[in-house]
């Protein structure tokens, strides 16, 4: 007869999570406040117009992270509910944690941190890195392990973002390098550290069915539709934001078409594999982030989108099995193919764009 | 041999619904018109800017009610299609009915009612009360019964809203009291009146499966994402709306984390129950409505969100079985836990906020 | 023993699609550029405010086409994944093709085409016609055939739109005639040409199940919610856009209620048929497009919505079987009932509105 499981580990998650939420609450009580009410009518109009310009994009990004990414991760049957719940819990945990951290680190004016929609947006971006990274260990890590990963990754993200953007001065409006490349290699490192030794066989729960693939594709489509909002949210209003939206749309459109082409050519039976479409369609959005707001010609956005879809599909076909075989590195959702390779491609494109651009192109 | 069912009752629903739609059409033809076209260029800009500021929020609320709430109610397998259809039909019926009623009651200027986006928004809010109330009798009432409930509830809602907001002067921007508490107890009353006598056993159709719980969770997430738009839609533009958005986001984030904590601590096996997550994550949004636009500190929004998730999960665990046993009161979707208890908590918070606030805090 | 299938046809799709994407890329490289950066601060504000007013509507339309329409087409079980993927691929292919075509045709200023959000929006509208037309041959045509249809339909759409709007001067802000009626009869023609001879029996894959009907209804609801954005996107800002939003909301609300009435009255068992609800609820949106921005009284929008739902349900019940029997014309998704008949009704309403209106009603 099997022994009943010990009671303590089951209580570890809720107790530590509850303590963490309590500590965050304390930090909010001590340090956070809202902006003072605007004294003059002009200031009221300014605040209102900031909300009208930022809030729709913020909501688009929330839909992406909560619904789109959650469904994309639901491709394992019998694991969909957990994937969606864990994604949702991690987002909320990481977002509050990032709010507190960035409040204490960056915005410490006169003892009180002034909270606004912009600070929530940047906290959301920090939380995205966690959601991407855990894709590598989806369905294998316990909720406690996921929370530890989140607690560690957020401060490291802020440090790396400070190094890349503030110290090195790299332009990265869509987070290609700071978010996608960073979180991909962080996640692969975590996967290696936690599960590197074991050569696990593929679990039967891990082969997608028609209906789980359908849900996952719906998640892809939601991410695909709202990706331009993600890239454009932190852009300079005006021409730069307009270009960011258009470039992202073009790159993702080329990406979707090319993913179908590449997948059909690579597979022996000529059939499109759902995972290639689910990930390849989004690869263009990852790559374009670094150059989206620059005055690059539209054709280069299309070309970058196509190229990243090819790289992503090739990664799924050849690199993932190779990494699993040679390095015993398991990458459950293929984050290296969706975030790593297209992110590196985007970084390369950014170098080319800076070198090729006339001197004043990024000023407007 | 069973007798064939009589033909008449089957025709009762479409005929009465058709007659109602015809009568509403007649009311529209007699009393409703649009605003006169703006005569001057400045007026055109004013109309346009009102659309830009209101319409995205209006669309967010539509997604919540039509898609989010519909899917949340689809947690009973084999009943998902009906839940989604009934929710959709009730929304349209109640919204038109509310438009006509509020047109005749409030906006009767010069014989003609001038329709605009704001009047549709308030009619939508009236329809929400119906959608919440019928959650108590989901899957047990016939479509005809649902329509009768809708036809009765809308005028009673307007009367109660007038009493609470206009007569008593209670501030309730997010509808915590006027919408959530009202519709909860209205729905429980209807449930008691219709099904109070019978001690029905739990129907096999009524145990959620993995895939129906997944759909329901997607509904929760859609509601969760767009809830800030619901609370902020009728706010004063500027700082008050900004605070409403931020407070709602914070409350719901704390709510989601705390629902997981509370559910895992309460269940013997330490496992999160889907219904706790589906409802507990939203409890913070219900409670924060009454105080969202006030100048409360951010920490109190977090605390209110946490507290309402705890209350909601405790309600599911202890109060719902108690009410079913002692009062033979069935609450199919647990509306008392999601709307009743957090709503009362929000009302209490509103009293505290008013008492604790400095004199001019709600002016800006 | 079965012969292995020849390798070539399997490669035909990806190779031709890849070539097409390459050719489009070349066109973009040769002819397309972005608007020059705004020189002055006022221009920056103008560009920014154009984005804030257009981009949320654009995103709504993207959600409709990619997620809503894709799910609506997923009513055939075992075919949902293909329906969603083909819809997505066709949208991207047609949108790029329409961008290139309209760039070369209309916007040829000074040798370079200036790309902006408005040109993407009109390209999207051209792509919609393809997505509607292929509804008639859903699940029967190969991906290659679908792409040939798309390649042919986009230029014919531009020609017909030029004839209808520019030459005949017909007002059609929501695309009732130019998009819905055109693409319906184009699609029926394609269906007749490809599959007219064969009297195919109904395939077992073609009877919807509870869960495929549920997904399809979610698609309907997404389309229903965002339809006002589709109709209002190209409206004159101000009163005309305000009226377009309100009229579309009223028409679609009446449409949803009436579809339930008409379906329940027509079916012998008094039960609502999912396909009637899925299509009838949207019929009002198709019909209202032609008159949405005119100063018609609100009651006429309700009446038009009700009438088109009746026409749509009657079409499903009587006309589709008749066409299949008499003309061997198969209409898989019933596009004639959703787009053809309500579109013709809308065109008729447009004639009545113009004749009945006072002289200056469409000016504001």
Min Cα separation C63/chain A (Å): 6
Residues 163-222 of B with CB under 8 A from C: 211, 215
B303/A contact by beta carbon, under 8 A: yes
A272 and C85 in contact by Cβ < 8 A? Answer: yes
pLDDT at B362: 44
What are the DSSP calls for A301-346, one per residue?
A: HHHHHHHHHHHHHHIIIIIHHHHHHHH----TT-HIIIIIHHHHHH
pLDDT at B1: 37
Average pLDDT over every residue of C10-16: 84
B299 and A45 in contact by Cβ < 8 A? Answer: no
8 Å CB contact between C54 and C233: yes
Structure tokens at A279: 């990930």
Largest CA distance in chain A: 75
Interface mutation target, options A22, A59, A97, chain B, most CBs of B under 10 Å: A59
Q: Which domains does chain B have, with CATH numbers?
A: 55-195+208-355 (1.10.3430.10)
DSSP letter assigned to residue A22: H
A348/B contact by beta carbon, under 8 A: no
d(CA B362, CA B170): 12
pLDDT tier, A1 (very low <50, low <70, confident <90, very high otherwise): very low
Average pLDDT over every residue of C12-18: 88
Scanning every residue of chain C, which has its alpha carbon at the shortest distance from the alpha carbon of B60? C225
d(CA C285, CA C308): 9
A254 and C21 in contact by Cβ < 8 A? Answer: yes
B358/A contact by beta carbon, under 8 A: no
**What is the pTM assigned to this prediction?**
0.93
Interface mutation target, options C221, C222, C232, C296, chain B, most CBs of B under 10 Å: C221
Scanning every residue of chain A, which has its alpha carbon at the shortest distance from the alpha carbon of C19? A261
Q: Which of C239, C249, C257 sits opposite B37 (nearest CB)?
A: C239
Q: Would you say how long chain A is, in residues?
A: 364
C364 and B55 in contact by Cβ < 8 A? Answer: no
pLDDT tier, C149 (very low <50, low <70, confident <90, very high otherwise): very high
Interface mutation target, options C56, C247, C253, chain B, most CBs of B under 10 Å: C253
Chain B residues within an 8 Å CB radius of C238: 38, 44-45, 47-48
CA proximity to B63, closest of A95, A341, C229? C229
Chain C residues within an 8 Å CB radius of A213: 81
Mean pLDDT, all residues of chain B: 87
DSSP letter assigned to residue A340: I
In A115-238, alpha helices (H): 117-133, 143-161, 182-195, 210-232
Q: Which of C214, C229, C303 sits opposite B81 (nearest CB)?
A: C214
CB neighbour class for C357 (10 Å; exposed up to 12, middle 13-18, buried from 19): middle
Q: pLDDT by residue (tens digit) across A327-338?
A: 888 888 899 999
C84 and A269 in contact by Cβ < 8 A? Answer: no
Largest CA distance in chain B: 75
Burial per residue of B326-357, b for 16 or more beta-carbon CB atoms within 10 angstroms, e otherwise: eeebbbbbbbbbbbbbbbbbbbebbeebeeee
Q: pLDDT by residue (tens digit) across C290-305?
A: 999 888 889 999 999 9
C354/A contact by beta carbon, under 8 A: no
pLDDT tier, A41 (very low <50, low <70, confident <90, very high otherwise): confident
Query: B275 pLDDT exceeds 60?
Result: yes
A270 and C14 in contact by Cβ < 8 A? Answer: yes
Min Cα separation C40/chain A (Å): 10
Higher pLDDT: C237 or B39? It is: C237
d(CA A126, CA A102): 10
pLDDT at B56: 92
Q: How many CB pairs under 8 A join A and B?
A: 144
Interface mutation target, options C56, C226, C266, C302, chain B, most CBs of B under 10 Å: C302
The distance of Cα B113 from the centroid of its chain, to the nearest Å, equals 26
Q: pLDDT by residue (tens digit) across B158-217?
A: 999 989 888 888 888 889 999 999 999 999 999 999 887 665 555 555 688 888 899 999
B302 and A25 in contact by Cβ < 8 A? Answer: yes
List of residues 6+ apart from B71 with CB closer than 8 A:
B84, B215, B216, B218, B219, B222, C218
pLDDT at B78: 80
Structure tokens at A205: 């729960």
Say whether A207 sits in a helix, a strand or coil: coil
8 Å CB contact between A218 and B71: no
Higher pLDDT: A285 or C79? It is: A285
B297 and A29 in contact by Cβ < 8 A? Answer: yes
Angle of helix B80-105 versus helix C239-266 axis, rounded to 10: 130
In B134-162, alpha helices (H): 143-161
8 Å CB contact between A235 and A241: yes
CB neighbour class for B8 (10 Å; exposed up to 12, middle 13-18, buried from 19): exposed
Q: Which chains touch C (3 or more CB pairs under 8 A)?
A: A, B
**DSSP strands (E only) in chain C:** 32-34, 113-115
Say whether B113 sits in a helix, a strand or coil: strand
CB neighbour class for B140 (10 Å; exposed up to 12, middle 13-18, buried from 19): middle
Residues 95-124 of A with CB under 8 A from B: 95-96, 115-117, 120
Min Cα separation C151/chain B (Å): 34
Min Cα separation C298/chain B (Å): 6
CA proximity to A287, closest of A327, A315, A324? A315
Map tokens 């033809």 to a residue: B29
A34/B contact by beta carbon, under 8 A: yes
Which of A141-145, A182-186, C27-31 is the most confident on average?
Answer: A182-186
Min Cα separation C55/chain A (Å): 9
Query: B47 pLDDT exceeds 90?
Result: no
Kindly list the distances between the CA atom of residue B338 and the CA atoms of A119, A195, B226, B293, C43, in Å, as whole numbers in the listed order: 29, 40, 17, 21, 49
pLDDT tier, B361 (very low <50, low <70, confident <90, very high otherwise): very low
CB atoms within 10 A of CB C310: 24
Give the pairing of strands C113-115 and A32-34. unpaired
Q: Which of B238, B269, B299 sits opposite A38 (nearest CB)?
A: B238
pLDDT tier, B335 (very low <50, low <70, confident <90, very high otherwise): very high
pLDDT at B50: 84
B318/C contact by beta carbon, under 8 A: no
CB neighbour class for C133 (10 Å; exposed up to 12, middle 13-18, buried from 19): buried
CA proximity to A15, closest of A143, A150, A131? A143
Q: pLDDT by residue (tens digit) across A220-244?
A: 999 999 999 999 998 888 888 999 9
pLDDT at C7: 46
pLDDT at A4: 45
A269/C contact by beta carbon, under 8 A: yes
Query: Which ipTM score applies to this complex?
Result: 0.91
Scanning every residue of chain C, which has its alpha carbon at the shortest distance from the alpha carbon of A216? C81
């Amino acid at each position: 007869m099997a022994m009943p499981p010990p009671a303590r580990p089951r209580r570890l998650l809720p107790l530590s999570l509850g303590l963490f939420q309590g500590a965050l609450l304390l930090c909010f009580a001590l340090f956070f406040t809202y902006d003072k009410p605007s004294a003059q009518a002009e200031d009221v109009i300014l605040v209102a117009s900031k909300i009208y310009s930022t809030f729709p994009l913020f909501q688009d990004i929330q839909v992406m992270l909560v619904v789109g990414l959650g469904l994309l991760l639901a491709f394992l049957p019998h694991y969909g509910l957990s994937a969606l719940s864990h994604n949702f819990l991690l987002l909320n945990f990481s977002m509050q944690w990032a709010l507190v951290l960035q409040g204490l680190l960056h915005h410490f004016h006169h003892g009180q941190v002034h909270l606004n929609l912009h600070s929530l947006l940047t906290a959301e971006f920090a939380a995205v890195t966690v959601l991407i990274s855990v894709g590598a260990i989806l369905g294998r890590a316990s909720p406690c392990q996921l929370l530890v990963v989140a607690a560690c990754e957020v401060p490291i993200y802020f440090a790396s973002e400070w190094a890349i953007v503030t110290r090195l001065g790299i332009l990265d409006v869509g987070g290609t390098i700071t978010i996608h490349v960073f979180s991909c290699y962080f996640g692969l490192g975590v996967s290696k550290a936690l599960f590197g030794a074991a050569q696990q066989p593929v679990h039967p729960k891990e082969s997608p069915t028609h209906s789980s693939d359908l849900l996952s594709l719906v998640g892809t489509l939601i991410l695909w539709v709202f990706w331009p909002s993600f890239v454009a949210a932190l852009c300079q209003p005006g021409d730069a934001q307009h270009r960011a939206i258009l470039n992202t749309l073009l790159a993702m459109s080329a990406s979707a078409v090319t993913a179908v082409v590449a997948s059909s050519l690579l597979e022996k039976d000529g059939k499109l594999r759902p995972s290639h479409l689910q990930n390849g369609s989004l690869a263009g959005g990852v790559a374009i982030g670094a150059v989206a707001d620059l005055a690059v010609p539209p054709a280069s956005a299309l070309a970058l989108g196509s190229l990243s879809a090819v790289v992503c599909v090739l990664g799924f076909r050849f690199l993932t099995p190779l990494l699993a075989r040679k390095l015993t590195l398991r990458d459950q959702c293929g984050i290296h193919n969706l975030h790593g390779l297209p992110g590196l491609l985007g970084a390369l494109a950014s170098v080319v764009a800076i070198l090729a651009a006339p001197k004043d192109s990024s000023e407007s």
